[in-house]
Structure 1
């Protein structure tokens, strides 16, 4: 049988107890404290200085963000509506397979329908807000409220001027309330 000390088969305690032997530490000569290795910066890092100066997403990022968030949230809400409708339409004599099929069909249909609508609203809002920022060359609450108003008007424009005006007012009020709530949260909630 081979000597376990040659092939490393012994315990670590056996190796530490032997005088004149020490464990190999590959980081011994670096002289870097471990705290600086793992203390990562919390601020974002930018490749170009122009990106660091801008405190806002670009129009393309805005478009992608609002459209994606709108579609996903609308799809989840639509799936919940579809689940409620499918459970209400269940009949006592249905088999489990029929019930599952009804739930999946209803959730998919309502999720697509509502997700597409809310995604289009997000697309319109992002485009109008980015356009307002480009035209006014400032980024403030006015851009958001006007974009919400314009989104409501454009989304319901096919239903007539009265419906478009009501939807525009609702959109402007909703965005205004969201901007006001964001300011209140920024002021009173330490993050």
Structure 2
């Protein structure tokens, strides 16, 4: 298929000029030509304020790993400080703290990352199965994540973890909705 110059001119007409430095008073002309067409192909896609399943998976896994690593590093720091003995040199104390922080940070981060991965997969699966995006999907995904994460420890442990997961997600969703409603941002 040959490329015609008319299509190129039509494409140029449907673009708007954009200068990201306009507020800084830098004498540069418009740098980018952005399209004026809508970002979404269908109107239904623009109405839904939701991440895709891949973005969801990446987001929850990353947030889980990062928060777990920070909490674990803090716990490892405290354990490393408590483990120091009166005759230790400063070098040895720092080494204990760094080793404790690194070890506990990796351990907690990996666990929380796996929980985030399981939750994202279950929530995306629930949205796909039910074809709606509501609180029920999140709570059931939290319940399933807790139960699946602790399934190897036995039925009782899985049931308790499932209930804890469902309650934590339910409180989180309720808190998020209350924050949106009562805190003007």
**What is the TM-score when the length of structure 2 is the normalising length?**
0.77
How far apart are the structure 2 equivalents of 1:186 and 1:46?
27
How far apart are the structure 1 equivalents of 2:184 and 2:137?
26
Q: CA deviation at 1:120?
A: 0.3
SS at match of 2:97: helix
Q: CA deviation at 1:185?
A: 1.1
Where do 5+ consecutive residues of structure 2 fail to align? 1-21, 24-36
Q: 1:82 and 2:76 equivalent?
A: yes
Where do 5+ consecutive residues of structure 1 fail to align? 1-36, 39-44
RMSD: 1.4
Larger radius of gyration: 1
How far apart are the structure 1 equivalents of 2:40 and 2:174?
33
Q: CA deviation at 1:49?
A: 2.9
Q: 1:91 and 2:85 equivalent?
A: yes
SS at match of 2:181: helix
Q: CA deviation at 1:46?
A: 6.1
Out of 73-82 and 48-57, give the one that drifted further. Answer: 48-57
Partner residue in 1 for 2:39: 47
Of residues 113, 136, 142 in structure 1, which corresponds to 2:130? Answer: 136
Partner residue in 2 for 1:116: 110
Partner residue in 2 for 1:32: none
Structure 1 runs, 4 residues or longer, greater than 2 Å off: 45-54
**What is the TM-score when the length of structure 1 is the normalising length?**
0.75
Partner residue in 2 for 1:102: 96
How far apart are the structure 2 equivalents of 1:47 and 1:186?
25
